[in-house]
Structure 1
């Protein structure tokens, strides 16, 4: 299987690394020539255009920063649509708008290609090891075709239903991660203000009912002071804005979500859109004059799970039915 990968940023570069590391033929394309050169050093080919890459590959993966960027790559001049045909799969791994990915998938289908949306969740450190989780929205037939490369890109792969379903679930999980991040920032700052030793506070939360994936990962880089999880405030604002839009579209009267959007809008106005997202805690540090730091925490997260072959995750009801 010849795989093309467009978008070698913080997440995309790590996902593409899993493809080349596991022996697939890989062609890469990015606006940054230096990023492509790094992959060429490991045997990947450098693409010329989305059209050329699509004509040469069985699967074309996009991992781009916004729905606008994705649309430009798919339907722009020399885009994916000009090169796609029967038997070729377009896999969109960005966090995007469900209606937009449905629209683009329809254009791909008109050309005879197949589309799958497969956003990832679990952090850049797990993207680097192929242990990240993947949501896959597409027909069951397309999912079966895609599973061999999806289980290289990620450890746990969930077929979420038709195109659009994975985008909704990805936005939902990013919203929950944001709510966890803000609450962790508030908890750690309050512990500091109350005179608690923060290494002890971190462990207390970790072993309690108050723990979360975000606390156990981002909490560490917050306390280190690097606040580096390779994710920025503008990306958080995009994701939680998409979640808010979904809720409004379906008349769900949310209370926490509008507040989270306000918090990150304020963070962006203070520190800039490309500020690292865990530095949302700076709003509290600035307000209190406190420095929320601990000793011995890592500057970046590393995956503590060994790389293992991926597998399909089935919803609980499906597992129960299969067992009958």
Structure 2
């Protein structure tokens, strides 16, 4: 199968690298020629534009920063969508928009599957990230071998739109975790507690989380470089708030989180690294929340493993397909 890939940013570049590492025939497109050149040096081919990818490939993956960017790229590809062609959307986007775009692909005789990822750039780099997949079952099964190469745990969430909805929800939870970790770290610093001890206390307790065990390390190092920016956080939590409003859910924490990131963007800029939301509290208190011994970047130290489909059962340990 010939695969096209549009979008070689922080996540997309790592996902594309997993395909190359596992022997896929890959052709790439990105607005940044240096990112394309880097991928070509690893064995990929390049194409002039997304339309050429859809013309020449069996499936095209998009991994882009906004719904608007996805729409522009898909509209470029649509004239070359024919029977058997597949569009795979791996961006974090709005459910209604991905459904609209998927309908355009299906009307042309192609198939569509949304498959956003979760688990951090460091896991995308090793193929150990988790993937949500929304599509009809036949398309999901057709693309499952590729999905289990790109990620370790693959969850078929239902029809198009369900994966994007769940992905936005998980990013909302991750952001809530980030904000509470920031408040906890700054408060313990002010209380005179050693930051290394604070980190371990949080990690071994009921207060731990994936975000603490990853992003808190980068906060304490001072790099704060999680390869994710405040504008992207605002987009994701804004999408979650929009879902709640459409369902008439009177959320209380979500609007506050949106306001906090609005303030962070006003103070530090929309392209500021998202963990630097802690600077609002550091600046307000004059405290420097760093500590020795923490890494400047996250590295997935688990070996790459073949992925598998996760089957929802309600059990503590989900049953694996096959």
Which interval holds the TM-score relative to the shorter structure? over 0.9
Q: How far apart are the structure 2 equivalents of 1:41 and 1:84?
A: 29
Compare 230-239 and 300-309 and name the one that shifted more: 300-309
Alignment of 1:254-269 (within 5 A): 254-269=251-266
Q: Which residue in the other structure is 2:250 paired with?
A: 253
Deviations 1:227-259 (A, max 9, x none): 000000000000000000000000001000000
| Counterpart for residue 61 of structure 1 | 61
Structure 1 residues not aligned, in runs of 5+: none
Question: When the two structures are aligned, how many residues end up with a matched partner?
Answer: 320
Secondary structure of the 1:316 match is coil
Q: Is the 8 A contact 2:15 2:127 kept in 1?
A: yes
Counterpart in 1 of 2:11?
Answer: 11
Query: Which of 200, 209, 212 is matched with 1:212 structurally?
Result: 209
Aligned twin of 2:143: 146
1:20 alignment counterpart: 20
Q: Which residue of 2 aligns with 1:117?
A: 114
User: For the structure 1 residues 51 and 265, does the alpha-carbon distance in structure 2 shift closer, same or farther, using more than 3 Å as the test?
Assistant: same
SS of 2:83 mapped into structure 1: coil
Match of 2:277 among 259, 277, 280: 280
What is the DSSP-based 3-state SS (H/G/I as helix, E as strand, rest coil) of the residue aligned with 1:264?
helix
Q: 1:6 deviation in Å?
A: 0.2
- 3-state DSSP of counterpart to 1:226: coil
Match status 1:31 vs 2:31: yes
State how far apart, in whole Å, the 2-side matches of 1:273 and 1:322 are.
40
Separation (CA, whole Å) in 2 of partners of 1:148 and 1:51:
25
Map residues 149-298 of structure 1 onto 2, 5 A cutoff.
149-298=146-295
> In 1, Cα distance between the equivalents of 2:255 and 2:312?
30
Q: Give the direction of change, closer, same or farther, for the CA distance of 1:312–1:252 in structure 2 (3 Å limit).
A: same
- How far apart are the structure 2 equivalents of 1:237 and 1:282? 16
Q: Is contact 1:188–1:201 with CA below 8 Å preserved after alignment? A: yes
Shift of 1:83: 1.2
Aligned equivalents of 1:37 and 1:81: distance in 2? 26
Contact between 1:157 and 1:313, CA under 8 Å: does it hold in 2?
Answer: yes
Give 1:115 deviation, angstroms. Answer: 0.2
Indicate conservation of the 8 Å contact 1:51/1:84, yes or no.
no
Please, which of 309, 312, 315 is the counterpart of residue 315 of structure 1? Answer: 312
Q: What residue in structure 2 maps to residue 99 of structure 1? A: 96
How many Å apart are 1:304 and its aligned residue? 1.9
What is the root-mean-square deviation of aligned Cα atoms in Å?
Answer: 1.4
Distance 1:320 1:249 in 2: 31
Q: Distance in 2 between matches of 1:142 and 1:282?
A: 45
Give the Å deviation of 1:300.
0.4
TM-score (norm 1): 0.97
